[in-house]
Structure formats: C-alpha cells, structure tokens
Structure 1
C-alpha cells in the first residue's frame, strides 16, 4: 500500500517535487566532500575487488563523484532530474564524465539494469525516504537481482532511536514528516528482514548532522 498525504496525494510524488525544488534552490546543498558512509563503502568495495558501483539516490553527486575519483565506474540514479544535472556538471568539471553515468529513476519501479550486472550498490539514506515497507522490500529484491554473486550492498537509514521518530506529521508505516521531508524510520527487525538470504556483515550505529540524526550503516553481501 502506498503512503499518502492528508489530502490523498501520493506521498512519494510530493517528495519528488519537494526534492526537485530543494536542489533547484540550493545547488550542491550537501557540499563537495563525500559522506562518511561513502568513504567507508569505497574501502569495503575496494577490498572485495569491486569495479563498478550503482548508487541509488545519488542527488547532486558528492558520493558518486568520490567513488569515481577512487577509480570505480559509477552508475548514479535519483528521482530528481535537477540533482542529477548538477552531478553531470560536476563530473564534467572534474574530468570524470567517462566514469559516471546517470539515470532518472523512481526506486519503486524495477531497476533499469540487467541481472548480475554490478559489483556493489550504495544508498545513503535512500531506503528511509518516503517508501512503504513493501516498497523497501521490493527495492532490496531488485538490488539482489542486479548484483553479481558475492556483491556488496552498503546502505544507511535513520532508525527508531532518532529524535524525530514518532513526531511531526505521521503518514503511517513508521513514516514521519518534518520540514517537508518524509522519513521512514527503521526498526532493527526490518534491517534483519532485509538481510534474509544475504550475509549481514555489519550494522554500525552513528550520528550525523545537528539534531543529531541517528542512523545505522548496514553492510550485507550476496553468497557466491
């Protein structure tokens, strides 16, 4: 079941419009430095011998460009065309245009990639966007489909220990909205369920930002 706003609108579509306008008003809003989870993920991916990375929810590209600088070939997706245009300009400016490809994509739909076609997948706070539990499960199934055997998936999510959990505008299914941004807060049981059939390597708790936001960084791998 899709989450909806109080006036019956599809919450994910409302969020798409909100992110489009936010990226338009604040180009490069997260800066040029990579996120700490991306730095960690790059080291994990390198250790496993990965060469190509799929980033979901790449936004304006600070992490995608970092992966490219580290020598990976990067496929970056986001549902904001505005954010991805900023990413493409950044790749061109950094001489990385040949290593980074982009695609506007809604993760509620099947990933536009063949089976077993990527070595690693990264998503920083993408899974905890305005997605229902059913949609999140479907997305992880798609990630499993496109990963090669032995492939690694690193993702981060805000969890139910976060100060914003249970406050703001409630949309059901552990989704709460603050300042126009809707977040699906993860209980630990959901992390464990999403790792069914995978090897769950790590669930690392960390904090980010001024609130601070409380997150888990999850690393899981497919069997070979």
Structure 2
C-alpha cells in the first residue's frame, strides 16, 4: 500500500508534470469531446440533470462540450495552467456563464454542498497518482455532493492495460511510465467503489495508439 507521505510527494511531482505538459501542449487533447463525455451527456439527459461537475477537467474539452449541451458545469482540476486555458476557451466560445473552472486537488474534500449536483464525470482522473484510500474518499465525496438519483460516470485504465506492471512501481498498483503515474484498477476496486450505489454498467473500451485499455463505469446514487 502506498504510504500517505509517498502519495503526497508523488502527487506534487505529478502536479508539476501536468503544469509542464499543459504549458508545452495547450491543446494536447484537441477540442473534440471524449467518448466518455458523450456517454455521460446521454446519461445526464436521461436523468434530467442540469448541474454537473467534471473532475479533472484539464484544458476543458469535455466541460465545454457538456456546457454546449445545455448543462451548468463546474470544472475542477489541480492544474492552474489547464484551467487558464479552459477559461480562455469558454470566453471565446461564449460559455463563461455556464462553465465554472475551480482549482481543486482531488485529495481534498469537494467544494460543493451536500446533494447539490445532478451528475458527475471523471475521465481518467481516478486512475491518476491517487492511493486507494484517496480514491475511496473522493468517490465518497462525489456521493455526498450528488442528489439521490444522480449519476457518476468515470473511466479508468485497468490491469489488462499494456502499461500495467511496466515502468517505475510506486506500490498500490501505481506505475509511472513516460512521466505519467497511473493507478491501474482491478475489478474488485470498481466493485468496492460502487458499494452503496446502483452500479449500472462497467464497459470495456480502448483509446489511443497503444491502445490504452479502460473501463467506463456508470453508477447512480441511491
């Protein structure tokens, strides 16, 4: 298990890493929404959601697209550089009134009142350099902030991925490859995070050139 001190140190290293990445590549993920965001939008629409949060929004391609679908979107990230790019893009696209960038470290409690949100999504955030304990705490925070019936859609790289077990091991199924630290999920962790929720779907898919192997998880607060 990753110690708390080691997790904090790794988290700070990753914050600096992402700052450099976004500074060098301000549009590294492009402007098109991810497949996960498209799925989440359908889930949110089906449940009548109006206010949602994207956790780990980066430079905002998904948050901006969700806002264009008529949603009020809080967009959190621990990279001030990424959020500056998101804010500029929202202004340019006339979305500054419906996209709200928030500087936030996923290791801290979410800055939302209890039962104040209709939905949440996180594309690849939960599989960043977070200990299992921190992941559990974050999902608990999402559950707290969602209204009953609110959906949480997230995606994570799993232990069937080609990079699992490769590169620098930090323990707790976290491996660093090419400067990116990833917490690879097994199915037991997905099921544990769904305790107290209605687990709707665990969908396997691939993304990118490697390709990365992921699960897209949809669960609903009871």
| Partner Cα separation in structure 1 for residue 107 and residue 173 of structure 2 | 18
| Partner Cα separation in structure 1 for residue 115 and residue 82 of structure 2 | 27
Q: CA deviation at 1:2?
A: 2.5
| Partner Cα separation in structure 1 for residue 144 and residue 99 of structure 2 | 21
| Partner Cα separation in structure 1 for residue 4 and residue 174 of structure 2 | 11
Residues 3, 130 of structure 1: 8 Å contact kept: no
Aligned residue for 2:28? 29
Aligned residue for 1:2? 4
Residues 173, 184 of structure 1: 8 Å contact kept: yes
Q: CA deviation at 1:28?
A: 1.3
Deviations 1:12-63 (A, max 9, x none): 0100000011101110110000001101110110011000110000000000
| Partner Cα separation in structure 2 for residue 141 and residue 206 of structure 1 | 25
Q: Are residue 207 (structure 1) and residue 209 (structure 2) matched?
A: no
- Cα pair distance change 1:77/1:40, threshold 3 Å: same
TM-score norm. by structure 2 comes to 0.97
| Partner Cα separation in structure 1 for residue 10 and residue 4 of structure 2 | 8
Deviations 1:154-204 (A, max 9, x none): 000000000000110000000000110000000000000000010000000
| Partner Cα separation in structure 2 for residue 50 and residue 66 of structure 1 | 15
Q: How does 1:23-62 map to 2 (within 5 A)?
A: 23-62=22-61
| Partner Cα separation in structure 1 for residue 201 and residue 131 of structure 2 | 24
Q: How does 1:13-24 map to 2 (within 5 A)?
A: 13-24=12-23
Deviations 1:44-101 (A, max 9, x none): 1001100011000000000000000000000000000000010001111111000011
Q: How does 1:1-224 map to 2 (within 5 A)?
A: 1-2=3-4, 4=6, 10-223=9-222
Structure 1: unaligned runs, 5 residues or longer: none
Q: CA deviation at 1:3?
A: 6.4
* Runs of 4+ residues deviating >4 angstroms: none
| Partner Cα separation in structure 2 for residue 111 and residue 222 of structure 1 | 16
Structure 2: unaligned runs, 5 residues or longer: none
